[in-house]
Structures are given as structure tokens and as C-alpha cells.
């Protein structure tokens, strides 16, 4: 595999060429490049991040974050409050650092895209076969819960049963999971079926090459055809290479893809409608031991309020994450909480907000993401946290630490309701792990960036295949949706050409 992966020092030429240049190696690009390589085309993947094979993964969280995340994990969305966004920047993209949840798109979201956005050919029946292929390729299983491991997830399951809430075993892309509890920093056992483990090796077996640490900075085009890409070598800004191609496939993610299009002067609409999920983390202390570090994340999912855009899951536990999550509480609280480390769990409430972000690409190499906090999201966040709290109290939690600055420890729902009064958006600690819809697909070139075949309206040979193409946010982990869309888009492309 290594001979097919070029690194910083391997770019001995200034110009390269291929039939298909695929920007990115994550969920969308990984699928697209693999399908193209398997259909006999000459494919180059262009990846900004480095190539870190599974054998190089360690349990050293700070080191792995440095290797695998964009900006070492610090990418703020500017607004009030500032949102901490995290995305992968390595061969495999965010599939290497996510929680391995690969869900089908909720049917009502697909219906919404058909009815509200007029999107045809991407309905439940149309995508069914692709979901099946993705589930087979990624070895999707519903995680088995054991009585001794994943006790935090078991708490959610039991509490949901008691409350009569819908809670399901989550579909995860894992093979022989060893419960290392290190999903967000790369699975050291190789159990997580990221594109690094699945699609990319297939592409390489079919002759694809990977240009790692190589960032696409500009698309050069003439008329309605893109000709080549200028790419800079990461860590050596003065060094550039040019790659010419017959067709360009972009799957750089919902922030970087519109940024590249805007910087190249190809689309003004790209990046104006960035939708995302908000994740709120709650630390809970239980009476009994949980040993939540022994286990893995997101094994069960509370879906009772999914239609309202709320999912509740158990996140992974490490002292690092406890300290970071509680940094707004101060060290006295962190010390006290860590004394009871074995009884702690971190839980995540993920919501589908109304707030929308947009991307500015005028300055410098990096995009700036601004968002406006929609006032309705405040009540949505409070409701999400209240429901999470009631579930955790039902499960036996005795103390909750909320992602809200200044409200202190919460020991009952009544206390939480009282403390919610006067909470302002600026007090809330929000994370974002899923971004979508910044180059939406549609039938009208005035409101969408790409047509239903995945091609840019104004360019004959540029196709998009990442989360940016989704008409709106999915309300669930979007990897399954991105991969199913990538299959459909590339199959249409192969059929048409």
C-alpha cells in the first residue's frame, strides 16, 4: 500500500496528470475514488492530511489529535457562542476519528428532500441498494452490549425502558471491536471500518495513487471545463504542484469543498448554507461504579425525540475529556469529579438546530466560518438538556455537570429548571462534529450548487460527493447518507460517460 501513497518528500515532479482527480479521502471521496478505480480509471486522491496506518495509532490522545485532526482539533465557528468544530485531516478523513456510527438516512428526511427540495432519485427505495452495499462494505453491526462493559450505554438503555422511550442498539462500522474506547483518536486495533481500512485499500489495489499532505488550493478552468488543480505541499507553503485531469471529483468536506470552489471563483453560492448538528456534553456521576472507560462509544442511541431533532448517546470517557468538558467549572470541581472517576459517564445530546453558518473565503488560505445563533435554538438546547437530565436521573445519576457556564452542579430536574432561567446562548458550550449542505443538490441553479447528477451547474467536469451536497442536515450521523449519495452520484456518472 505504501508505494501508492506519496508523502511530502516524494513529489519529485512539478506536474502530474490523471483521468480522475479526487479531492479528499473521507466518506464521500473514498467511495467515489474507489468506484472509479474499480471501473478501470486512473485515479489520484489528493489528501491534505498525512497517511497514518492503523499500526501507528497509540493511546496518546494529544499526539493522535495532532496527527489526525485539522488544526490539531481547534477550528472555531465564529458566533455567539463560539462553537468548537472538529474534523479529520488525514488519509481516511473524518471516518478515522468519528464514533463509527453509520446510519441510514431517516425516511422523513429523505421525504423532506423529495417534497421540499424536489429531489428525485434519492428516495428511500432509490438509496436502499446503496445502504445495503455500504453496510456490507463497512461491516455494519448493531453492537452487542455486555453486562460488564459499556455500562454507561446500558444505563441509557435501562432508563429508556423505564421511561418508555425508544432506544436502539446503534449500527456501527466495526469488526471485532476490542472496546479500546479510543474511537475519536483513531482505532488502534483497526476494528473501526473507516475508509482507511475499507475503500482506500480497494482503490489502491485497483491502481489508485494517494497524494498525501497535499492541499488543493485552486482550480484552474477555462470556459465550463476545469483543467488542473494547484496544490501546495503541507508544511512547505512555497512548494506547489499542478495536477491536470479529465474530471475532478471533490469530496473535501462541507467546509473545505465550498472554500475551494469560492477561492477558485467557480461558485458564489457555495458555502452560504452550511448546516450542522450541535453536540452538548453532559458529565454524570452515578452512585455505583460504571467503569465507562471499559467500553466503546455510541453503542445505544435514544431515538424517542429524533423527529424533533434530538438524539442521546453515551460518549467516550477519558480523564482528558472530563477535564476538557468541565473546564468551565474550574479545577476544584474537576478534582472532585475525578475522585469518582469510576462512577462517571459522559453523555452527548445531539440536536438538529435552525442556526445556519456561512463560509468566508476572502482572506488567506483557511476558510472562516461564521454562524448566527437562531433564537429558537436556545429553547431547543434547554429541552435537549432537560430530557438528557431526566434520562440520566432515571438511570441513577446523582450529579450532573451541564455544558452551561455558571450553573454549577445539578442534582435534580427541579434544580435544573430553576438554573435554566436566565441562561444565555453565550453561556453554552457547544461542539460540532457534523457539517453538511454547503453546496446543496437541487433542480434550480439559482438555489443549488450542483444538479441531481452531482455536477456543478456551471462546470461540465466537476462532481461533488461529500456532505456538502446534502440538501439539509440529516439529524443523524451523516456518514451512511454521504456514502449512499456518493454511490448514486458516481454510478450515474459512470453510466452517463
Q: What is the rounded radius of gyration, in angstroms, for the C-alpha atoms of the chain? A: 22
Q: What would the grid cell of residue 375 be?
A: 433564537
Q: Which is nearer to other proteins, 325 or 438 (CB)?
A: 325
First-last CA distance in the chain: 29
Tell the smallest beta-carbon distance from residue 82 to other proteins (Å).
7
Q: Could you say which of 2, 17, 56, 66 contacts other proteins (CB under 8 A)?
A: 66
Tell the smallest beta-carbon distance from residue 3 to other proteins (Å).
30
Q: How many Cβ atoms are within 10 Å of 108's Cβ, its own excluded?
A: 13
Q: Could you say which of 1, 178, 220, 324 contacts other proteins (CB under 8 A)?
A: 324
Tell the smallest beta-carbon distance from residue 364 to other proteins (Å).
5
Please tell me the count of residues contacting other proteins according to CB under 8 A: 34
Q: Which is nearer to other proteins, 259 or 493 (CB)?
A: 259
In Å, what is the CA distance from 350 to each residue of 279, 280, 370?
4, 6, 20
Q: What would the grid cell of residue 3 be?
A: 508505494
Q: Which helix or strand (DSSP H or E) is residue 39 part of?
A: none
- Contact yes or no for 390/291 (Cβ under 8 A): no
Annotate 170-190 with three-state secondary structure.
CEEEECCCCCCCCHHHCCCCC
Give the three-class secondary structure for 1. Answer: coil
In Å, what is the CA distance from 149 to each residue of 157, 191, 380, 471?
13, 17, 32, 38
Give yes or no for residue 338 binding other proteins (CB under 8 A): yes
Q: Could you say which of 224, 327, 445, 447 contacts other proteins (CB under 8 A)?
A: 327
Q: Could you say which of 2, 17, 82, 236 contacts other proteins (CB under 8 A)?
A: 82
Whose cell is 455510541? That residue is 298
Q: Which is nearer to other proteins, 204 or 278 (CB)?
A: 278
Q: Which is nearer to other proteins, 71 or 497 (CB)?
A: 71
Whose cell is 458555502? That residue is 271
C-alpha–C-alpha distance, residues 139 and 100, integer Å: 11
Q: Could you say which of 2, 60, 379, 497 contacts other proteins (CB under 8 A)?
A: 60
C-alpha–C-alpha distance, residues 266 and 254, integer Å: 16
* Cα pseudo-dihedral 143, 144, 146, 152, rounded to 10: 30
Annotate 157-170 with three-state secondary structure.
HHHHHHHCCCEEEC
The interface region with other proteins, picked from 18-26, 144-152, 205-213, 314-322 by CB under 8 A, is: 314-322
Q: Could you say which of 7, 53, 61, 382 contacts other proteins (CB under 8 A)?
A: 61
Q: Which is nearer to other proteins, 369 or 389 (CB)?
A: 369
Annotate 72-126 with three-state secondary structure.
HHCEEEECCCCEEECCECECCHHHCCCCCECCCCCHHHHHHHHHCCCCCCCCHHH
Tell the smallest beta-carbon distance from residue 365 to other proteins (Å).
8
Q: Which is nearer to other proteins, 364 or 422 (CB)?
A: 364
Window 356-375: contact mask with other proteins (x via CB under 8 A): -------xx-x-x-------
Cα angle: 116, vertex 122, 126; to 5 degrees: 135
Q: Could you say which of 331, 445, 458, 497 contacts other proteins (CB under 8 A)?
A: 331
Q: Could you say which of 76, 79, 188, 201 contacts other proteins (CB under 8 A)?
A: 76
The interface region with other proteins, picked from 283-291, 306-314, 328-336, 392-400 by CB under 8 A, is: 328-336
The interface region with other proteins, picked from 16-24, 66-74, 136-144, 386-394 by CB under 8 A, is: 66-74
Window 267-306: contact mask with other proteins (x via CB under 8 A): ----------------------------------------
Tell the smallest beta-carbon distance from residue 257 to other proteins (Å).
17
Q: Could you say which of 19, 342, 451, 472 contacts other proteins (CB under 8 A)?
A: 342
Q: Which residues bind other proteins (CB under 8 A)?
A: 60-63, 65-66, 71-76, 78, 82, 318-320, 323-324, 327-328, 331-332, 334-335, 338-342, 363-364, 366, 368
Amino acid at each position: 500500500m505504501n508505494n501508492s501513497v506519496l508523502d511530502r518528500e516524494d513529489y519529485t515532479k512539478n506536474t502530474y496528470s490523471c483521468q480522475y482527480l479526487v479531492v479528499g479521502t473521507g466518506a464521500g471521496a473514498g467511495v467515489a475514488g474507489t468506484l472509479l478505480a474499480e471501473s478501470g480509471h486512473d485515479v489520484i486522491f489528493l489528501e491534505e492530511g498525512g497517511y497514518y496506518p492503523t499500526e501507528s495509532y497509540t493511546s496518546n490522545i494529544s499526539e493522535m489529535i495532532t496527527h489526525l485532526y485539522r488544526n490539531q482539533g481547534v477550528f472555531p465557528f465564529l458566533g455567539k457562542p463560539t462553537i468548537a468544530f472538529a474534523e479529520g485531516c488525514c488519509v481516511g478523513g473524518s471516518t478515522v476519528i468519528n464514533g463509527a456510527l453509520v446510519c441510514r438516512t431517516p425516511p422523513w428526511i429523505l421525504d423532506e428532500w423529495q417534497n421540499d427540495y424536489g429531489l428525485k432519485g434519492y428516495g428511500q427505495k432509490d438509496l436502499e441498494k446503496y445502504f445495503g452495499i455500504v453496510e456490507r462494505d463497512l461491516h455494519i453491526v448493531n453492537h452487542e452490549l455486555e453486562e460488564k462493559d459499556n455500562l454507561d450505554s446500558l444505563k441509557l438503555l435501562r432508563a429508556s425502558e423505564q421511561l418508555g422511550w425508544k432506544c436502539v442498539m446503534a449500527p456501527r462500522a466495526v469488526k471485532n471491536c476490542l472496546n479500546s474506547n479510543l474511537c475519536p483518536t483513531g482505532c488502534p486495533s483497526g476494528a473501526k471500518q473507516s475508509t482507511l481500512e475499507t475503500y482506500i485499500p480497494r482503490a489502491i489495489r485497483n491502481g489508485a495513487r494517494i497524494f498525501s499532505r497535499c492541499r488543493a488550493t485552486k482550480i484552474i478552468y477555462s470556459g465550463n471545463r476545469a483543467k488542473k488543480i494547484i496544490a501546495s505541499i503541507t508544511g512547505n507553503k512555497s512548494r506547489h504542484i499542478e495536477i491536470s485531469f479529465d474530471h475532478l471529483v471533490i469530496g473535501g468536506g462541507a467546509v473545505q469543498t465550498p472554500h475551494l470552489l469560492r477561492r477558485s471563483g467557480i461558485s458564489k453560492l457555495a458555502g452560504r448554507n452550511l448546516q450542522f448538528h450541535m453536540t452538548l456534553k453532559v458529565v454524570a456521576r452515578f452512585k455505583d461504579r460504571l467503569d465507562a472507560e471499559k467500553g466503546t462509544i455510541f453503542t445505544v442511541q435514544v431515538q424517542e425525540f429524533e423527529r424533533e431533532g434530538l438524539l442521546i448517546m453515551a460518549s467516550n470517557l477519558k480523564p482528558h475529556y472530563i477535564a476538557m468538558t468541565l473546564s468551565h467549572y474550574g479545577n476544584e470541581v474537576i478534582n472532585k469529579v475525578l475522585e469518582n472517576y469510576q462512577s462517571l459517564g459522559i453523555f452527548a445530546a445531539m440536536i438538529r438546530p435552525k442556526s445556519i453558518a456561512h463560509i468566508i473565503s476572502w482572506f488567506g488560505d483557511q476558510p472562516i466560518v461564521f454562524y448566527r445563533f437562531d433564537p429558537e435554538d436556545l429553547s431547543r438546547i434547554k429541552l435537549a438538556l432537560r430530557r438528557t437530565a431526566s434520562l440520566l436521573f432515571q438511570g441513577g445519576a446523582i450529579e450532573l455537570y451541564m455544558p452551561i457556564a455558571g450553573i454549577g452542579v445539578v442534582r435534580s430536574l427541579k434544580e435544573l429548571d430553576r438554573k435554566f432561567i436566565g441562561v444565555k446562548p453565550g453561556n453554552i458550550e457547544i461542539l460540532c462534529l457534523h457539517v453538511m449542505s454547503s453546496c446543496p443538490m437541487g433542480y434550480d441553479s439559482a438555489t443549488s450548487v450542483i444538479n441531481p447528477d452531482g455536477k456543478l451547474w456551471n462546470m461540465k467536469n466537476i462532481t461533488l460527493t461529500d456532505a456538502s451536497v446534502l440538501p439539509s442536515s440529516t439529524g443523524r450521523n451523516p456518514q451512511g447518507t454521504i456514502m449512499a449519495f456518493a454511490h448514486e452520484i458516481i454510478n450515474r456518472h459512470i453510466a452517463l460517460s
